[in-house]
Every structure is written in C-alpha cells, then in structure tokens.
Amino acid sequence: MMMRKKNEAPNYDIENQHNPLETSMSQELANLSPLLPLRCIYRVPERLRRGNENAYTPRVVSIGPLHHGKEHLKAMEEHKKRYLAYFLHRTPVSLNNYINKIKDQEARLRSYYADFIEFDSDEFVRIILVDAAFIIEFLLRKCFLGFNHENDYIFEKPWMKRDISPDLRMLENQLQFFILKDLFVPDKRFPPTSREYSLIFVSYFLFKDAIYREGTEDDWERIFVPGIERLVSSSKDVELLVVEHGIVQNWIGENSGVSTLLNNLDSWVIVSNYYYATLCDELNNYCRTRRHKWGKFEAKLF
C-alpha cells in the first residue's frame, strides 16, 4: 500500500467523487439569508457601542426581537403581558385574529431587520404581538388620563415612565410602524372632539419631551454637540455656566463630572457640517490678533 506523505494534499478524482469541503461551502452559500430592500432596523455599529454601551442598550423594557430575553429586561415581561390583556379587553378583535394578522405579515416584519432573526415563527409572532400591544397601551396612558388603571405598575411610579420612554426611542428597540397601525383601534374613551385620533397623534406625546427646539435631530446635533463640547473644558467652565449664569443645571453632583460628560458628547459622533463653524472661525481669528489678546493670555474660545 502506498502511504501519503504527512503534508501532502489528498488526491481527489474530480469527475468521480465530491470534495467534502466543496459540498459544505456550497451548502453554506445556498443558505445565506437574502438581502432585502426593506431593512431599516439595525444594530448600532460596534465602534459607537464601545464609546458608551449603556447609551444603546434598553434599561427597562425590550421591544422587538433584538434584545428579547436579556436577563435585566425580564422583569418587564409580565407587565407587558398585562398591557396585552388590557388591550384585548378594550378592543373588539379576538386574540386569535390578532395572531393571524401578525402571521400574515411575518415575512414582511422579518425583512425589516438587518440581522437574521433566529426565533421560530410562533415565538416571533408572540414577541411582536405582546410588544405592539404594550406600545399602544403605554402611549394611550401617556396621552389620555382616562386609560390609566388602578394599581398600574408603570404609571404609579414616575421613574418607570421616565425610564421606559427613552427605551422606546432606541435604535435597536423598535417595531415596524405599519404593524402598530394595523393593530391600533380608536377607543370610545378618546375625548369628544372633531379631531381624528391616530397612532401618529398619540405617538407625539412620546417624542415631544425629546424635542428641544424646532428643526430636525440633525440640526440639534450640528448646533449643540460641537458647541457645548468646545465651551466646557474644565470644572471651572462648569462653575461659570451653572453657578454664575444658570445656563446648565447640574444634576450629577461634582462639576468635574459634568465637565467629563459634556466633553464626551461628541465621542464617536461624526458631524460634517457644524452649524456655528463659520462663527467659531471668526472668533478665533479675532482673538489671534495682537490687539485683542488679554495681557499674556490668548482667548482660545474654540
């Protein structure tokens, strides 16, 4: 018998037998998930997450499949199911009909996620229904006092409501708006008015507290983030803004903590068109001229 040398590659007869590696790789390529044009729910890039993990991870409640089942979020699952029970009680549609509604849209729902969703069909539908009902009920309670229930665990504790709202705005903690619209049913407890109450209207109450000025989020980022980071470089700057002029409210404690927070605002944030860039350049040029220097110190504003 002829022995093959230790480092010699196996000799395959291409016409008469298959290469096991080829077979394995072919199966892997055949099983790749399709790239769908509807993808709009992404995971935060790792380069951003490294800057501040907590900024991109829900603290209280998971919405959708990406964070479902995480240990620190499991406590809210019972309360979400309780909101589903309230939702089913006040609407004329049966639980089975809601399940079928979501089943019919399952392929479309999955196509919105950039990542492959590993949950099987029943578990995926369960997650979407429970979370969609929770969002709708939460928005109605936030918008109209008439929807609040006695002993409501969330709205009896102000800190719970404050913690849930930012969780619902997180990039990875989203549901598709079309499925919320499909499940939303107007209620007789809406205030009597000529206004037609829609899901968009009640959603406004979730986001209005996060709107600091008229304009888009991009405007806010271009105006605020680079500006405040350049204004504050030490605890002495914080003292000037907080104590002397009351421009910034210090809820952290020490001024050094505020300084660190503000200086890290633009970490991993790419701002290509800073709103006040021209003004900053003019101020810097003004302060570089000899007659505008204060003694031996140069006023380096930005």
The rounded distance, in Å, linking the Cα atoms of 149 and 151 is 6
As to burial, measured by CB atoms within 10 angstroms (0-12 exposed, 13-18 middle, 19+ buried), residue 257 is middle
The rounded distance, in Å, linking the Cα atoms of 243 and 20 is 73
Spell out the domain ranges in the chain.
Answer: 46-210, 217-292
3-state secondary structure 46-110: HHHHCCCHHHHCCCCCCCCCCCCCCHHHHHHHHHHHHHHHHHHHHCCCCHHHHHHHHHHCHHHHH
What pLDDT, in 10s, does the model give residues 6-25? 555 555 555 556 688 988 99
What pLDDT, in 10s, does the model give residues 170-202? 889 999 999 999 999 888 777 776 567 788 888
pLDDT in tens, the chain (302 residues): 455 555 555 555 555 566 889 889 999 999 887 776 777 888 888 877 876 788 889 999 999 999 999 999 999 999 999 999 999 998 989 999 999 999 999 999 998 998 889 999 999 999 999 999 999 999 999 888 788 877 888 888 878 888 898 899 888 999 999 999 999 988 877 777 656 778 888 887 777 666 544 444 444 444 344 455 556 667 777 777 666 666 666 555 666 666 666 666 555 454 555 555 676 677 777 777 766 555 444 444 44
